[in-house]
Amino acid sequence: MDLGSLKKAPGSTHSDKRIGRGQASGTGCTAGRGHKGQRSRSGSKRRAWFEGGQMPIQRRLPKYGFHRVGKVAFQVVNVGDLDGLDARSEITPEVLRENGLIKKLRVPVKVLGNGDVSKKLKIKVHAISKSAQEKIEKSGGAVTLL
């Protein structure tokens, strides 16, 4: 069995009708459009969201939320995660990327204070919380903001 031998289940599809091509087609006269009404007329078009004059759903439902214009989305790394890295080298976003702690180099990195530090760490990141900075400096490390 392969993809070329697949067939649709019997009865799952119907053959297409040629709508309204004379009396002998079986759908002559109104051509399968029913009697009168907007959709029976030639050239009838309606917008996808039109509800026949009923108050449309985008006007019935309330608006909520907003998008903060100057918001910066950070990739978060905790101090406890940094403790497992090699303390001899300087910890930069590139090092964090190599060790799988962040996914993208384009998105800024912020260090948060969850966990403990037992090594002297030299860190270069875009942002850091107060508690994380205190823990790193307490252990003899240094923090540089990019």
> What confidence score (pLDDT) does residue 86 get?
78
Closest C-alpha to 122, from 95, 87, 97, 80: 87
CB atoms within 10 A of CB 78: 15
Which amino acid, one-letter code, is at 23? Q
pLDDT digits (tens, 9 = 90+) for 21-67: 888 888 888 888 889 988 888 888 888 889 989 999 999 999 989 98
For the chain, the structural domain boundaries read 75-145
| pLDDT tens, position by position, 92-129 | 999 999 999 999 999 999 999 998 888 888 999 999 99
What pLDDT score was predicted for residue 146?
87
Dist. CA 143–CA 135, nearest whole Å: 11
Q: What is the DSSP string of 30-47?
A: TTTS-SSSGGGSTT----
127-128/122-125 β-pairing: unpaired
Q: What pLDDT, on the 0 to 100 scale, is given for residue 46?
A: 87
Among 95, 97, 82, 70, CA closest to 142 = 82
The CATH number corresponding to 75-145 among 3.30.479.30, 3.100.10.10, 3.30.420.40, 3.40.470.10 equals 3.100.10.10
